[in-house]
Amino acid sequence: MQKDGTVRNALLVSSGDGPCGPALRQFLARLEKCYLRKDEHLAKTGAARPADHRRNLYSLQLANLRLRWLTLSAAPPQITVIGPTQAGKSSVINWLLGESAAVASPLAGFTRHPQGFAYGYEGTAVSTLHRYFEPLQPRPISELPAEDFRFFGFEPVRAGLPRLGCPVTVWDTPDFDSIDSERYRDGLLRAIALSDLLVCVLSKDKYADQSVWELLAMIEPLGIPGLICLNKTPAAAAETVVRSLTGKWSQMRRDATPPIVALPYLGADALEPPGVDALVDAARTLLRQTDRPRQPLGLQRFLRANWENWLAPVRVEQKAQQEWRTLVGRTVASANRIYRRDYLDHPHHYETFQRALAELLTLLEIPGVARVLTQMRRIMTWPVRQIGQFGRRWRPDAANLGSEQSVLQQTALHVMLTLRQEVAEIAENATETRPWWLALGRELGRRQAVAIDLFSQAASAYAREFEPEVEKTAHALYDRLGEHPAVLNSLRATRVTTDAAALAVGLHTGGIGLQDFVIAPAILSLTSLLTESALGHYVQRAAEDLKRRQAAAVSGLFDDHLAANLLRLPEDMPYDTGFFIPVDVIEAAERELAGTSRTS
């Protein structure tokens, strides 16, 4: 038993922090949750579960379970016995152990939970197994509920050693080929993921089943040593079945065919068929060859083998998200062009530079006269201002007609309507991503009113925040005028007469505000004098510079308070089959995976 003791010591070595870095571990866990959420959605809606989705889910669960096992303190050797229904798994377990531990039944699907039979254990090893199986809870095998899969079977540690001659846990597992097997597939995967040796029990009638080879092909990259037991195989057919099975193995897997032990039907009075000793010897030999320190390499191979398949639906979704970002960017760029056309470059709507000139008029007031004129304007235009306010309350839409705020609001509405139309067209023509685009279209419609309202509030705040830029332009013009005393004095002399004319016009027209006739003559006079003076070129540059700064500010308004909210819509929309994994998260995981590949 010296070799067995050596094997035991090697297998008890702790795996430390495991084969994966933190970014990779977190990504794998997150990806599994996404697949599970999609799986629950398909089950809830009664939709068919595509074969590639099922395979990706099972292989991803197996990867996370194997990773979990390798990061725990190791326990004695683990043998997992797998196979389809009626293959005789429980009987093979009893022959390996040398006693009747597992309950054999002629009923298909009788075993529905992983069931462990432990020998030569210590307390820490048992607690390790319990931690690994969480949230499943241990129960005596006789007390496992048939329809409740929140448990796994685990008997108290048995005294002595089994027929295998070393401390070991042998796991009986549910089938993987019955109609109900999807319901308890999790227990099977948990038992496979912790195994140091897989014993695949097949029969003459089941060895060629597709479900068998799908499972064997899926677990191949893990590199778990295997042993095939051809149970219930007549001696006359054994050679033919072994040859056929070997050929099938070469077709489905790239590694060498494992040892195959054929066992005939159990005789009526026999406790075990001929050939059991060969089965036990083969299992014992493979256990001696087990090298746990190299198991992380198998997990890394498994991750690399399945990586692109796992990420295929994620990349499809990310392609749709990139298309959405491009669409939003193109539509917001169009919004900037609309704003420039309908406001900045519009001969009647653009008023920002006029406000700067109005501010300049105030700066040009003649000392001693300015205060009197200002008070006179306030007194004489007060009735008109009240009438104007009443008119705005009566027809609020007319007050803002053609104003910057109106243009901004209409442009934002144009953006939302354009996006909804384009999203609907994309969804109609899409195949793989149609549900994603349909969900996005619904969310766009639901959020439109709120988005427009929030943007309008941001636009009002922008208008207030931009006022200092208007004042800055007026002061820059005034400072430049200070360098030309003749022009400045001419403007100041004209300022009094234009103000008097403005007051008269204001009384008769009732106009108020920057677009009204109260200040229009003054601004017209000022504009004419400035453009015809030596400062004409500077005034033009000041007007263009103000317009440029305003265009930049509005572009930022569109980006920060419209585009940014639109780009977040896919993350917030109700979409149960979505992954929503950022590209940088995947890239960080791939860097760690590439790093472990180089070090291995």
Average pLDDT over residues 206-214: 90
d(CA 443, CA 420): 10
Grade residue 158 by pLDDT with cuts at 50, 70 and 90.
Answer: confident
Whether the predicted pLDDT of 142 surpasses 60: yes
Which pLDDT belongs to residue 46?
87
Whether the predicted pLDDT of 314 surpasses 90: yes
CA distances from 557 to 328, 454, 511, 561, 578 (A): 14, 11, 31, 6, 30
pLDDT, tens only, 478-489? 788 777 777 666
Q: What is the pTM of this model?
A: 0.77
Which pLDDT belongs to residue 381?
44
Cβ count near 477 (within 10 Å): 23
Contact 279, 92 (CB under 8 A): yes
Identify which has the larger pLDDT, 177 or 367.
Answer: 177
Average pLDDT over residues 309-323: 94
Q: What share of the chain is helix, strand, coil (3-state, %, to 5)?
A: 65, 5, 25
Which pLDDT belongs to residue 512?
38
Amino acid (one-letter) located at 561: H
Contact 151, 114 (CB under 8 A): no
In 3D, which of 208, 200, 256 has the Cα closest to residue 231? Answer: 200
In 3D, which of 58, 428, 547 has the Cα closest to residue 66? Answer: 58
Question: CB-based burial of residue 268 (10 Å sphere; 0-12 exposed, 13-18 middle, 19+ buried)?
Answer: exposed
pLDDT, tens only, 445-476? 999 999 999 999 999 999 999 999 988 988 88
Identify which has the larger pLDDT, 290 or 32.
Answer: 32
Contact 180, 53 (CB under 8 A): no
CA distances from 326 to 88, 322, 331, 527, 574 (A): 58, 6, 9, 43, 22
Whether the predicted pLDDT of 521 surpasses 60: no
Contact 377, 503 (CB under 8 A): yes
Amino acid (one-letter) located at 58: Y
Contact 121, 75 (CB under 8 A): yes
Whether the predicted pLDDT of 373 surpasses 50: no
Cα radius of gyration (the chain): 40
CA distances from 247 to 16, 207, 251, 261, 278 (A): 39, 12, 6, 16, 22
Grade residue 518 by pLDDT with cuts at 50, 70 and 90.
Answer: very low
Grade residue 595 by pLDDT with cuts at 50, 70 and 90.
Answer: confident
Grade residue 543 by pLDDT with cuts at 50, 70 and 90.
Answer: confident
pLDDT, tens only, 62-101? 999 999 999 986 788 999 999 999 899 999 999 999 999 8
DSSP string covering 346-414: -TTT--HHHHHHHHHHHHTPPTTTHHHHHHHHHHHHHHHHHHHHHHHHH-HHHHTTTSHHHHHHHHHHH
Q: What percent of the chain has pLDDT over 70?
A: 80
pLDDT, tens only, 234-249? 888 999 999 999 999 9
Which pLDDT belongs to residue 7?
41
Average pLDDT over residues 98-116: 84
**Mean pLDDT, the chain, whole residue set:** 83
Domains assigned to the chain: 76-290 (3.40.50.300)
Cβ count near 391 (within 10 Å): 14
d(CA 91, CA 284): 18
pLDDT, tens only, 349-360? 888 887 777 777
Amino acid (one-letter) located at 277: D
Whether the predicted pLDDT of 9 surpasses 50: no
Grade residue 557 by pLDDT with cuts at 50, 70 and 90.
Answer: very high
Grade residue 524 by pLDDT with cuts at 50, 70 and 90.
Answer: low
In 3D, which of 88, 577, 514, 96 has the Cα closest to residue 314? Answer: 577
Which pLDDT belongs to residue 584?
93
Among 148-157, 165-174, 248-257, which stretch is predicted with the lowest mean pLDDT? 148-157
Q: DSSP character for 580?
A: -
